[in-house]
Amino acid sequence: MERSQHKTLRQAYGFDDVALVPGDITINPDQTDISFAVDKLNLSIPILASAMDGVVDVRFAIAMGKLGGLAVLNLEGVQARYDDPSIVLDKIANAPQQEVTALLQKIYSEPIKENLVGDRIRAIKKTGAVCAVSLTPANTKRLSPLAVEAGIDVLVVQSTVTTARHVSKSYKGLIFSELVKQLPVPVIVGNCVSYSACRKLMETGIHGLLVGVGPGAACTTREVLGVGVPQATAIMDCAAARDDYFKVSGRRVPIIADGGMRNGGDICKAFACGADAVMLGSIFAQTKEAPGKGNHWGMATPHEALPRGTRVKVGMKGTLEQTLFGPSSVTDGTQNLIGALRTAMGVCGARNIKEMHQTEVIIAPSIKTEGKFFQMMQGLAKC
């Protein structure tokens, strides 16, 4: 009896599964170059803040801009639904855990107010800060002209999974090749995780790509849908797409690792795997400047019929500046992220992010798992 091969499964890796191998030469951290560019926009540090309501509001976006990074304001969150978002943010922070999903569903059923779209953007722009905002594909046609008019520097079009082609009856799919021609600002699109989906999006002319489906701390996409690719593999696959697309087109579309990074170690691994920049949610939700007041939730959490993820109590750990530049007095890797990145680049002998992409990555699960396990057990023992 002849037998056909069943599916061949490829092994994928998350940050916990891998580690970086030091280089053959070392470099002083102050000799490393970590700047990042998307289209004509240049940033002195390769770090973005996620378009999540517990992370970015106007005040946070301004603070982030001053420090050299880029915060993305969500134009479909509470900032665009409520004149005074602080009231609902307080409610979310104080709700009992078993009621919070229903509360979020209710809060996000309030319609988006078009006048607020412009107001928020202008509040950021008047300080001279760079302004980035996000929209879902379904609302991009309607709201992006308002955002452009109000002065945004970057548009992020983002949903759990975005592809170059969407089949739908209910609305005419967004065509990225048209969008990038119409808009005078760079367009970053996401999220995607596979080589082919990534390349097809790059071929539409978009200017940057968010990489990551299912890895974030406030996300249960894998429990609910079964869908998700561990972040180390997702980044490596999309980096291969970026490099291959560059070879045939001469255009280099940077990829931004989005989600799943919990400390400096994970961030360094993201760059070694091929990321040009990283977008952080839960780490920034822990800063004193974050609007979530020590709480964090994803933008799929309030879905009216199929909520994914929940509010996570992340606590407040330090200022945004301390988180980015130190000095740190904690040893869990959540502070002085830039110091950690420069130190890791030095140890790996990388003068810039592109050289960091050459770092050897190994599969090395055991120590970390053990360590984390032990920490959890100790944490529990204290309860």
Tell which positions 293-352 bind a copy of itself, by CB under 8 A.
Answer: 301, 304-310, 326-333, 336, 339-340, 343-344, 347-349, 351
Binding residues for a copy of itself, how many (CB under 8 A)? Answer: 126
Q: How far is the CB of 114 from a copy of itself (least distance, A)?
A: 25
Angle at 177 between CA 280 and CA 125, to 5 degrees: 45
> Does residue 225 touch a copy of itself according to CB under 8 A?
yes
Instruction: Give residues with Cβ within 8 angstroms of 43, minimum separation 6.
Output: 35, 36, 37, 68, 69, 70, 130, 277
Rounded Cα distance, 342 and 337, in Å: 9
Which among 36-44, 62-70, 74-82, 362-370 is the span making contact with a copy of itself, rule CB under 8 A? 362-370
Going residue by residue from 180 to 209, which x/- string records binding to a copy of itself, judged by CB under 8 A? ------------xxxxxx-xx---------
> Does residue 19 touch a copy of itself according to CB under 8 A?
yes
- Dihedral of alpha carbons 45, 51, 55, 61, sign: positive
Nearer to a copy of itself, 124 or 202 (CB): 202
Nearer to a copy of itself, 84 or 366 (CB): 366
Q: How far is the CB of 82 from a copy of itself (least distance, A)?
A: 22
Taking CB under 8 A as the criterion, which residues in 103-132 touch a copy of itself? 105
Nearer to a copy of itself, 116 or 235 (CB): 235
> Does residue 366 touch a copy of itself according to CB under 8 A?
yes
- The reply to whether omega before 22 is within 30° of 0 (cis) is no
> 113 is written with which tokens?
């107010």
List b or e across 54-89, with b for residues whose CB sees 16 or more CB atoms inside 10 angstroms. Answer: bbbbbebbbbbbebbbbbbbbbbbbbbbbeebeebb
Residue 214 vs residues 116, 221, 227, 254, 273: alpha-carbon distances, Å: 30, 5, 7, 21, 18
CA contacts within 13 A on the Cβ side of 233: 15
Q: How far is the CB of 216 from a copy of itself (least distance, A)?
A: 10
Taking CB under 8 A as the criterion, which residues in 20-49 touch a copy of itself? 20-28, 30-31
Taking CB under 8 A as the criterion, which residues in 54-93 touch a copy of itself? none
> Does residue 286 touch a copy of itself according to CB under 8 A?
no
Nearer to a copy of itself, 269 or 296 (CB): 269
Going residue by residue from 232 to 271, which x/- string records binding to a copy of itself, judged by CB under 8 A? -x--xx-xx--xx---------------x--xxxxxxx--
Strand partners, 154: 132
Category of 226 on φ-ψ map: left (φ > 0), alpha (ψ -120 to 50) or beta: left
